[in-house]
Amino acid sequence: MQEFFYEIKNPVGIHVRPAGLLVKEALKYDCSVQIQLSEKTADAKHILSLLSLGAKEGDQIRIRTQGKDEAYAAVELHRLMDRYL
């Protein structure tokens, strides 16, 4: 399992566009991708699950990848978040 934390920097948080990009990226990997905000956990391969988190600017999220491609997925998701979140 790989895990990292990320602080949302986008002024509008995780909205439709970055959520769609996260889902598209997560679907590339043979592993599970979970994003957690407080007590809520979302499957990063489903856009409605991500949007239901309601993550806003300044929120700290936890990203967990587990499976065959977990290390590569964690690196690429972090890179995408740096660019869009």
Query: What are the catalytic residues?
Result: 15
Distance CA(22)–CA(18), nearest Å, equals: 6
Contacts of 14 (CB under 8 A, 6+ apart): 8, 22, 50, 51, 53, 55, 85
